[in-house]
Chain A
């Protein structure tokens, strides 16, 4: 690759671009302006049956400009970062602000800043050659494929990214950071025809060193093999153990409902429940925007407020919602540094950074033993269509194994589990001890959870 693409540009370069964009926006008549500039360089290696299927290597760049015309916001984004491109972006943002209605709570943060966050970027990533990364992907696939009973490994991917982001605003704030990430996953099949079951294995870290190909491939194989011969069981009401993947998916959904924006718009079942008991005392949940291992960590959020740790559920009580500047002003509170951007294409909105379920003290075997007779869920389908965000009632598809006499029993499929989120949170009986970071439900540090009785529908 050309040398100028070898690593993301220095943050100061992006800050300079941001400064020019902000100046152009002010010149175009904006009362306040903010620019978010990103540059990234990433690879994705896909292997299949022992050979490279595709290898992508590319850089991307772009900027988003947010302006305020009085209290009216406008946004524009683009990939042309030349002087004329930035001027066009500034004009487009000003034009957008001319059409929106004023919002007295909208505006730039009163105080910007950057938290001290370390270890977001690993120099080891750049030291790995493409060939070595290809080998790693092939090892992941081999680890899954060579397990007896695995009929095929459908998809194996290694990917990484080096990215740099900068924010600049018309109140004089400018900051930037760099982060690296590397991840790999494999999807394995066991069984054939209508008995085919699939399993996913994942690993993530700041550099490829953190990825254990045996563990990732092995996990994909083990999860598929554990489900071979799955049948639809009879309907029942029973305790349920969620594995870490599934717990993360549920917690991610709950995190979304704790956004002050959802709350203030009356779209969250947690509205007006701050301080209330909404969960069993065993469950502690927090959002940590500064955790070195969290993929969503950064010194500042999407509008330049410092990232931080925000306890969400403590001792079973709902301790706080997640706020950005606008929702905080509306509620008379302080921001929790929870303005997120999925990329330069979107203006900031309220969201979670890294959700952390505080580990308890039982391993998975202990949770299963305590459940005695119940259901162990390893996959859920249709979470986002199956949950009513306002009432919290849900019915989702599930796959897993029965728990019989305190041990894992036969695999089951084509079932639905139904409850409502608050009943579910209140029914948490035990929290697993071993946490891992998973990319489900956002970025979540997850553990298995033992829940009280739920409705399980089968045949």
Chain B
């Protein structure tokens, strides 16, 4: 697969550096996708998209100059290189010759989604709808969505980098609304990965059953308690807490601007010795995995917490160069229209020795937060807020009533320090992460984790 020939790439990079620059790269992308959604028993939306384009970046000192263009014709690519170079006013720099392509481990794609008949996908959505509606008479509405994307990218740089990647992602999501008298609750579940359609071949209806089960369970919810208490955070999507409250603070752009509470803490003990965590863009088939990042660096498994100590930040090329280290393969972009910034791939706590049952049994009174509706964090302070979409009371070491309206509020450093138990049941879920106006696929995950004390903002009087 080649979107752009080496000759043209070399000419474009030379042109980009014609008026100076320490570094230049050319990013080339051809993306296409299909999205289907079913709502109110009707397959309402079907849409396809195809976008092709390129972008050029020139770095001089601390400044980056950037431009992009739709289309991959020779003139498109050369003209964007030309226009970016015009922002500079220094002596031309000769780029290194392009090397032979970087070998990358691609993630296995069994059944190419675009080869699967769209009618079969539509049937899958209808089967999910049936499954959810069959879960109980109180199921009032079901929304099922399916998306597949394929992004073929190439990266060329003035340091000689030549790399390419072929990324296929599929994702199935089900949202269920259940209603009883005046009470309405929603349940949500997704399954997705850097994989082909085979990921969804095996009982896709389970996704619908889980979503429906959540909505129905929450109909019995009581108002959430308010105050400080131990919180057991569920595996899988519970990892969004790590992603938001810790991960963003480890991204080197925030660290270098002193906009992170984790700045200057490398090597410090931030958590108990049994706490380990990774950012792993190589993990086979996971949602946030790629062969290379969007600067041509192979993705890797980066240990961010080792025995409770902070061991690494997450780097792209620019920030790595500034700190005199190597990129950790975290320079990601939403598309060719965006500059790369340090971003997480799949971020998760490593499995520990406890079990989820142990963590709950050891809690006299607390909250079991299974899933979050979303969250927000201020990386500079580490302060976070998360809405608990599925949560339960823990009373006398047992999970009891579901609760509605719980909000977790706290601080990343304090929450890390307060982790007093990690189970072994690691799972990674599909998230979308927004930063600097760019939305990328990010895997969030963890085993069950217990936090000794967190403020729960509830709705109970």
User: What is A's interface to B at a CB cutoff of 8 Å?
Assistant: 1-2, 5, 48, 51-62, 73-80, 88, 92-93, 95-101, 103, 130, 152, 154-155, 189, 193-194, 196-198, 232, 235, 265-267, 345, 347, 381-382, 384-386, 388, 390-391, 393-397, 413-416, 418, 455, 457, 459
Contact = CB atoms under 8 A, between A and B. Distances in A.
18 contacts: A54-B64, A55-B63, A56-B67, A57-B66, A61-B70, A76-B47, A79-B51, A79-B53, A100-B46, A152-B258, A345-B49, A382-B386, A385-B375, A395-B224, A395-B405, A416-B407, A457-B457, A459-B455
Nearest to B228: A459
B277 to A, nearest CB: 21
Nearest to A153: B257
B141 interface: yes
A61 B68 CA distance: 11
Interface in B379-401: 380-381, 383-387, 389
Closest 6 CB pairs of A and B: A416-B457, A385-B374, A385-B387, A397-B385, A385-B373, A96-B46
A397 B49 contact: no
Interface stretch (B35-43, B160-168, B420-428): B35-43
A55 B66 contact: yes
A79 B70 contact: yes
A385 B407 CA distance: 9
Contacts of B80: 58
B70 A99 contact: no
A383 B86 CA distance: 43
A385 B372 contact: yes
A58 B383 contact: no
A396 B119 contact: no
B63 A51 contact: yes
B4 interface: no
Contact of B46 (A88, A97, A396): A97
Nearest to A85: B50
Contacts of A55: 63-66, 87
B132 to A, nearest CB: 15
A99 B43 CA distance: 8
Nearest to B38: A101
B239 to A, nearest CB: 16
B255 to A, nearest CB: 12
A427 B224 CA distance: 23
Given A48-B257, A266-B140, A396-B385, A99 B47 contact: no
B45 A73 contact: yes
Interface in B217-269: 224, 226-228, 257-259, 261
A130 B375 CA distance: 37
A382 B83 contact: no
A76 B64 contact: no
A386 B407 contact: yes
A100 B66 contact: no
A347 B406 CA distance: 35
B461 A386 contact: no
B53 to A, nearest CB: 6
B69 interface: yes
Given A382-B387, A388-B405, A397-B409, A78 B49 contact: yes
Interface of B: 36, 39-40, 42-53, 55, 62-71, 79-80, 82-84, 86-87, 118-119, 122, 140-141, 177, 179, 183-184, 186, 224, 226-228, 257-259, 261, 337, 339, 372-376, 378, 380-381, 383-387, 389, 404-407, 409-411, 413, 455, 457-459, 461
A391 B378 CA distance: 28
A180 to B, nearest CB: 19
A100 to B, nearest CB: 5
Contacts of A152: 257-259
Nearest to B226: A457
B71 A80 contact: yes
Nearest to A237: B461
Contact of B374 (A52, A99, A265, A382): A382
Given A79-B53, A103-B42, A382-B376, A54 B63 contact: yes
A229 to B, nearest CB: 13
B63 A57 contact: no
B15 to A, nearest CB: 13
A215 to B, nearest CB: 23
Nearest to A81: B70
Contact of A54 (B65, B71, B224, B226): B65
Q: Which of A51, A52, A395, A418 has the most chain B CB within a 10 Å cutoff?
A: A395
Nearest to B414: A194
A391 B223 CA distance: 13
A73 B37 CA distance: 12
B375 A154 contact: no
B232 to A, nearest CB: 19
Given A59-B70, A100-B42, A382-B407, 6 more contacts: A54-B66, A92-B48, A96-B47, A194-B381, A266-B140, A457-B457
A455 to B, nearest CB: 7
Given A74-B47, A189-B259, A381 B40 contact: no
Contacts of B46: 73-75, 96-97, 99-100
Nearest to B46: A96
Contacts of A88: 50
A235 B45 contact: no
B66 A78 contact: no
Contact of B385 (A76, A193, A197, A382): A382
Nearest to B49: A77
A57 B461 CA distance: 53
A418 B87 CA distance: 50
B405 A57 contact: no
Contacts of A75: 45-48
Contacts of A130: 87
Nearest to A47: B63
A57 B81 CA distance: 12
Contacts of A397: 376, 383, 385, 407, 409, 457
Contact of B64 (A53, A193, A455): A53
Given A75-B46, A79-B53, A395 B406 contact: yes
Contacts of B63: 51-55
A386 B79 CA distance: 47
B68 A58 contact: yes
B177 A266 contact: yes
Contacts of A396: 385, 407
A99 B376 contact: no
Given A194-B261, A266-B140, A101 B67 contact: no
A138 to B, nearest CB: 13
Nearest to B437: A44
A62 B51 contact: yes
A304 B44 CA distance: 21
A266 B186 CA distance: 12
Contacts of A53: 62-64
B169 to A, nearest CB: 17
Q: Which of B55, B66, B118, B380 has the most chain A CB within a 10 Å cutoff?
A: B380
A395 B459 contact: yes
A395 B66 contact: no
A100 B49 CA distance: 16
Contacts of B380: 154, 189, 196, 198
A77 B87 contact: no
A395 B47 contact: no
B339 to A, nearest CB: 6
